[in-house]
């Protein structure tokens, strides 16, 4: 099987390596989404803690 000339073969090789890169970057994007959800959850937890702290300050006899 004669080898393809460099320009056409190059496109296929580049395509394959680009697919690999795309898979990794898509993964990074998904993990970034997870991270932002963690941050949102953290915000809610902090808010809940503050609310609880406020309630305790109210119920403690001054």
Judged by the rule CB under 8 A, the positions of this chain that interact with another protein are 1, 3-4, 6, 8-10, 12-13, 15-17, 19-20, 23-24, 27, 31, 34-35, 37-38, 41-42, 44-45, 48-49, 51-52
Helices and strands (DSSP H and E) totals, the chain? 1, 0
| For another protein, the closer CB: 34 or 61 | 34
> Which letter, b or e, does each residue of 46-55 get, where b requires 16 or more Cβ atoms within 10 Å of its Cβ?
eeeeeeeeee
Compute the least distance from the CB of residue 52 to another protein, in Å. Answer: 7
Least CB distance to another protein at residue 61 (A) = 20
């Amino acid at each position: 099987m004669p080898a393809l000339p460099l320009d056409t073969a190059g496109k296929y090789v580049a395509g394959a390596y680009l697919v690999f890169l795309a898979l990794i970057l898509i993964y990074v994007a998904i993990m970034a989404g997870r991270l932002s959800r963690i941050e949102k959850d953290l915000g809610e937890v902090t808010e809940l803690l503050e609310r609880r702290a406020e309630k305790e300050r109210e119920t403690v006899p001054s």
